[in-house]
Each structure stands twice: as structure tokens, then as C-alpha cells.
Structure 1
Amino acid sequence: MSKPLKIGVIAGEASGDVLGGGLLKELKRLYPDAQIEGIGGKHMIDNGLKSLADMNILSVMGLVEVLKHLPSLLKLRRFIVQHFLNNPPDIFIGIDAPDFNLPIEKKLKASGVKTVHYVSPTVWAWREKRIHKIAKATNLVLGIFPFESVSYEKYGYPYTFVGHTLADDIPIEVDKAAARKKLGLKDEQHVLAVLPGSRRKEIDSLLQIFLDTARLYNKTKPCCVLIPSANMMLHKKIESIVQAQSFDFDVQIYAKPARELMIAADLVLLTSGTASLEAMLCKRPMVVAYKMSALTYKMMQRLYIPKYFALPNILAEEQLVPEVLQEEVNPASLCQLLLEQLASMEQNIDKFISIHRTLQCNANEQAAQAVLSLVKQ
């Protein structure tokens, strides 16, 4: 390529930033002078992205919740579209965040820019007909889960399963002792990792419930609690909630990747999302919880198809880990489930390993090669 490869890319949250960071690292290895612009977080910025806006603006989830932020999201989207129409990239990659990215991809594709959507929207879970909109917006979808291909084959739309970068990064056997040593924890300590989410809304609705659960759990099983924060804004928020109360056990907040804390932990209490996949890859017993607005929940009851919402259960097509929603997300229920998981810690390890191997496909390399093949067409 005689001129530098120009890449447009947008990720909307922490999990997308991890995927984007891995993809950009590989693209920069192959094309060191590549020019990369868009929106992303630390992982993507560290691998060459010039970010045009703060990624946290996009970290909104829920049918109702998005409406509150709609004016600012629409304004940002208009700015991004105009920017890339004025400065067309060789390829545009939207990473997850389909409600934000797909309309951008559609306009750019119509203008002649090749477009990729990385992480299939959940057409397998609800609103399958969205796949027609995806086809109009993209030249290719890169998927991270093997079961997604069925939906695309059904409609004959281009899809490539690349695996998940987390499955490549995390070894099949993790080193708990080394992780504890790195964090200054003793081998004999009983450690509970608490992950309240990577969005402000999740922390508002779940952190206090998780802390109250830890209080109950500590009465039966004395423990140390570790809490990661996705960024400094969330770190300060978590810190303010924790420091406003007292505990009769140790609570430590880390501005570190959640993975390090999960590997060091005996047990994990977490918010549903990519964190549950990461906990599974770390081979840790867990309880997965989620709360959403009452209206969003009612709408999802009508629209959502799968039996499960926690990723380990969806991937296994059976309930490997407890998953709890809405009113059931309370300290008494969560504490009981944690104690039950502790009593049966080893029962799912072989299944966790099997799923890990399925997702371990050199995702960064596969995704980069798929993107470059499209550029060269």
C-alpha cells in the first residue's frame, strides 16, 4: 500500500476497548504507519488510536436508559459521521455498541467506505430481523461466539467467527498464587472479588447490594473483598461509596484489570456482561446478577429468547453458574448462592476449560486478516 492505511474505529465501552486494543495492536504490527481515528479507551489509545471523544459518553445500556442520553448521543454521532465523510478511511470498524455504530456504518458504506462490525449484535437473542439492517450497514460482521454463525448463514450474510481475545490472553491454567503475591495477599486469605460493572448506572444499582452481600457472607466465611474499577471516574465513585461506610472486613479498591483480581479470588460476585466470560476463563466460581429499569425489564421479557443471560450459561447451553435478576438481586439471595458455589467450586472447571478452548482462536490475528482482506478487495 503506497499511502498509509487509514482506519476509522469506534468502541463504546470497556469490553469493546479490549477487543479494539487487540485488533489495533495487530494492525499496527502489520502496518506501523497506519493512521487510526475514532473513539475508544486506554487499550485502543495505547495501540495508536487518536480518540475524537470520550468513550464513557457511549457507555449507556438499557432501552429506557438510552433515551435520557439521546440528544448528546445523536449530536456525537452526527459529528463522527461528518468527520469520516470529510476524511474517508480505507475501512471503518464499529466495535459492539450497535445502536450507535450501525447507523454510522450505514452512512459510510453508502458513501463508498468499507465497513466492518466487530461483535455481532445479539440477533440470536432478540429482534432477529435486525440482521437485515446489519447487512445494509456492513460489508462484514466479525463474531466472537461460535453459535452466532447460524443466524448469518440462515440469511446468507458475510460473517467470520474469530474467537475472543480474552480466551487467547488468559491461560488455560491460571496462577492464583502469583496473582495473590502481586496484589500483596496471603495464600491463606479467603478472597471475594466484587465486580459492580463498568458503567455508572450499574454501580448505582448494584454496588451497595454487593457490599451488603459481602457483609452477610463475611459472617459465615470471613473474607477480604477486592473491587476493580474500569477507569478513574468509576474508581472515585466506588471509593466514595465504600469510604462512606464501615466494614468489619478488608475492602480494597484497585485501578487494575478485573482479571488480576478474579485470578487471585476464591469466588466472584459480578454484574452480567463480559466480566462473567472473563471469570469463566479464569476458572472461578461466580454468581452473576443484573438489575435494569422496570420498563426495560418488561420489554425484555417479551423480546428476549434464550433461557439464560449469563455468558457462561449461554455458551454451555445449560446453567453452569447462578444468574439472578431484578428483585432476586438482594443480599440474602446472593449470599446463599455464593455459599452454595463455594461448596461446589470444582464441579464446572472441565466445562469452563472446554468452552475456553472453543474461543481460543488467535482472535486479534484473525480479525486483522479479515479486515485487511476486505480492504484489499
Structure 2
Amino acid sequence: MSSSPRFALVAGEASGDLLAGLLLGGLRQRWPELSSVGIGGPQMAAQGLEAWWPSDKLAVRGYVEVLRHYREIVGIRTQLRQRLLHGERPDVFIGVDAPDFNLELEANLKAAGVRTAHFVCPSVWAWRPERVKKIQASADHVLCIFPFEPALLAEHGVAATYVGHPVANVVPLEPDRLAARRQLDLPEDAPVVAILPGSRGSEVDYLARRFFDAVSLMHQARPNLCFVLPAVPSQRERIERVAREAGVAGYVRIVPGQSHAVLAACDVTLIASGTATLEAALFKRPMVIAYNMNWISWQIMRRQRLQPWVGLPNILCGDFVVPELLQDEASPPRLAQAVLDWLDDPGRVQALQARFVQLHHELRRDTAALATDAIETLLAR
């Protein structure tokens, strides 16, 4: 086995970039001389990735939204496949989440003899269960972030390892709210509401105005509330424009990145469905989960759901421990009231925090080491 293996990785959005950055850190501890190329963002670049395309090129969700970018995305995948097979062939390809992009690429690479791993099992237990056949054809090994997934994949002959959720090791079991508020220059004793409308442009387009209109209603009802929004760099200008159009720019603090500090600082968060909801749960923060997308995309996805929940905290807890307001239900008045309800019920918050502490322990593993062990076994094949 080489002391300087070559890895290719693809992560398709901010959450994938975070996970891949953590994974690359573990791989680099094992192989300090490794090289890595592919598609990624700032977290992966900080670990030495040579990014051929930025991860936000793939940050699109929803059937109609994907169709609008289809030609560009397929073109990137074709160029990447050719470059990996005929130019800079990796020892292992690791697709990080983004299954609609990565699984087909992995299948092509695997058929050509490249060892492949997929980090973050596609949620076949939640919707589109037929994808397990695609996983079987695409990935030599799957790195799972939820404990029930390896057994499910084993039923279909897919090798998998539970590695825990990397963010569970990054987030402290007892987040320091006061330190986070000082870091962000927020009042120490005022109630703080975190606003997280998503990291994709399509999410910002569909959710930001709804969230800001809800902020306006909350501000009218309780002028003492503080609002803070962590904007990913690629979406900050768009978010600031929508805030001005909604008339809330004067009392919503928009900060560059720092989503973890914002979640640590807040009392409650209004948040787009996605990986960030699990991060909010690990910070033990009550939340209102919302989502809105193109109507056609929603109708297709709604019919393919296998579970009554959409938000990861609810799926993992097996119950509606936090409210979900989706599509037409995600109206500004309902969003605002659901957030205020958390602020008015400390007993409910305390019970939720106890459940989230339990969840945190379930997900906390030495992810980097476990994932690196699995990759090392794959390299030795």
C-alpha cells in the first residue's frame, strides 16, 4: 500500500463540504503525504483538496430545479469522469452525499476498476427505496452516519460501516451559549432567534422571504427579540437583498458563516429542512423546521416518502419532537407562532433537550478513525 495514496472526492453543498473536510482530516492523519482532488468547498480546501470545481455548482435540490441546471451538472460529471479515468486516476473515489450526482459517477468508476466509497448512506429508509440497487452497483463500501443503516444495507449485499455522525464530535455535549453570544456580539440576556433558510440558492429563493416575513411578525409581537442569520458566502448577497425587500434588514444580523456559533447562541431556530436541523439538535436547541419548493417537485417527493417525518431530528427520534411546516403550511404567521410557542414553554424545551442529549450520545463516535479504517481496508483490496 502506498504511503501517499491519491483520493478523489466530490461533495455537493455546504454540509457535504463540512463532512468531507472532517474525513480528509482523518485520512491525512493516517497518510500525511496523500493527495486529494475533486469537487469541494472551503472545508475540503483547508485540508488540501485541489478543487477542480466548487461544491456549490452541485447545490441544487428539487426535480424542476435540477432540470434547470441539468446540462451543466451532467457536463461537469462527464468531464470529471474522463479526467479521473484517463488522466489522474485515484486509488479510491469517495462520493460524499449528493447521491444523484455521485452514485452514477461511482458506478462508472467502479466498472472501470476504481475502488469506490460513498460517505453518507442515501436515505433509502425515508424515500426512494429503489436506490439501494444503485448503491449496490456503485459503492464498494458505504460509510454510514446513522446506526441502523449498515444492517439495512447488508440485507442487499452492500458492505457498510457505521462511523457515527462527524458533527456529533465537533459539537460539545454542553454548548456554551454565553461564549457564543460574546463571539457574535449579541446581547447576553435577550432571547435570540436563529434564522437558517438553507445553503442552496433554490432554498433561499423559496424560503428566505417566508422566513423574513415571519421575523417581521415576531418583531412586531416582541420587539425585544434578537434575530441572527448565518449566511454561506455564496448566498449572502442574495439573502441581504431579500432582507431589504422584506423590510427587516434593520433588525436581522446577517453574519458570514459561523452557523455553529449562531446555533450555540440562540434560544430557538427557524430552520430549513436538511442537515442543519441535525446540527441544531446536537446543539440542543428547539427548532421549527420548514421547507418550500417548486410545486411539481413537491408533488413528486411527497408521493415517494416512506415516513411521516421530513426533519432528521424527528426521523431519528421516531416522533414529531419538533414541528414541521412544509409547503403551504410554511406561512409566515404559522412559522412565527411556532417559534414563539417554544419561547413560551420552558418545560417543553427542557424535555426536548434531554432527548437531544441522548441522541448526541448515540451519534458520537470517532468518525474520522472509523472511516479511515474502512478506507484503509478498501485500499488493501
> Equivalences for 1:70-81 in 2 at 5 Å?
70-81=70-81
C-alpha contact (below 8 Å) 2:196/2:229 kept by paired residues: yes
Cα offsets for 1:182-210 (capped at 9, x unmatched): 11112122211100100011111111111
Whole-Å separation in 1 of the counterparts to 2:291 and 2:247: 25
Instruction: Find the counterpart in structure 2 of residue 100 from structure 1.
Output: 101
Instruction: Find the counterpart in structure 1 of residue 115 from structure 2.
Output: 114
> Equivalences for 1:332-351 in 2 at 5 Å?
332-344=333-345, 345-351=349-355
Corresponding letter in the other structure for 2:380 = K
Shift of 1:92: 0.3
Instruction: Find the counterpart in structure 2 of residue 7 from structure 1.
Output: 7
C-alpha contact (below 8 Å) 1:123/1:151 kept by paired residues: no
Instruction: Find the counterpart in structure 1 of residue 54 from structure 2.
Output: 54
Corresponding letter in the other structure for 1:5 = P
C-alpha contact (below 8 Å) 1:213/1:331 kept by paired residues: yes
Instruction: Find the counterpart in structure 2 of residue 363 from structure 1.
Output: 367
Shift of 1:155: 1.5
C-alpha contact (below 8 Å) 1:125/1:305 kept by paired residues: yes
Give the 3 Å change call, closer, same or farther, for CA 2–215 of structure 1 in structure 2: closer
Instruction: Find the counterpart in structure 2 of residue 287 from structure 1.
Output: 288
Give the 3 Å change call, closer, same or farther, for CA 248–37 of structure 1 in structure 2: closer
Instruction: Find the counterpart in structure 2 of residue 38 from structure 1.
Output: 38
Q: Between Structure 1 and Structure 2, how many residues are aligned?
A: 376
Shift of 1:2: 4.4
Cα offsets for 1:47-78 (capped at 9, x unmatched): 01000012111001112221111111111111
Give the 3 Å change call, closer, same or farther, for CA 6–217 of structure 1 in structure 2: same
User: Structure 1, unaligned stretches of length 5 or more?
Assistant: none
> Equivalences for 1:197-236 in 2 at 5 Å?
197-222=198-223, 223-231=225-233, 233-236=234-237
Shift of 1:3: 5.5
Whole-Å separation in 2 of the counterparts to 1:252 and 1:115: 42
Corresponding letter in the other structure for 1:107 = N
> Equivalences for 1:130-169 in 2 at 5 Å?
130-169=131-170
Shift of 1:246: 3.4
C-alpha contact (below 8 Å) 1:176/1:264 kept by paired residues: yes
Whole-Å separation in 2 of the counterparts to 1:290 and 1:149: 29
Whole-Å separation in 1 of the counterparts to 2:302 and 2:189: 43
Whole-Å separation in 1 of the counterparts to 2:151 and 2:95: 21
Give the 3 Å change call, closer, same or farther, for CA 246–126 of structure 1 in structure 2: closer
Shift of 1:150: 3.7
Corresponding letter in the other structure for 2:362 = T
Instruction: Find the counterpart in structure 2 of residue 297 from structure 1.
Output: 298
Corresponding letter in the other structure for 1:152 = L
Q: TM-score, normalised by structure 1?
A: 0.97
| Structure 1 stretches of at least 4 aligned residues deviating more than 3 Å after TM superposition | 243-249
C-alpha contact (below 8 Å) 2:136/2:157 kept by paired residues: no
Whole-Å separation in 2 of the counterparts to 1:307 and 1:57: 31
Instruction: Find the counterpart in structure 2 of residue 374 from structure 1.
Output: 378
Cα offsets for 1:183-241 (capped at 9, x unmatched): 1112122211100100011111111111111111123333111011122x211111222
Give the 3 Å change call, closer, same or farther, for CA 114–241 of structure 1 in structure 2: same
Whole-Å separation in 1 of the counterparts to 2:59 and 2:108: 22
Identity of aligned residues (%): 39
- 3-state secondary structure, aligned to 1:347: helix
Cα offsets for 1:1-22 (capped at 9, x unmatched): 4462100110001111011000
Whole-Å separation in 1 of the counterparts to 2:2 and 2:147: 36
User: Structure 2, unaligned stretches of length 5 or more?
Assistant: none
Whole-Å separation in 2 of the counterparts to 1:99 and 1:248: 36
C-alpha contact (below 8 Å) 2:287/2:323 kept by paired residues: yes
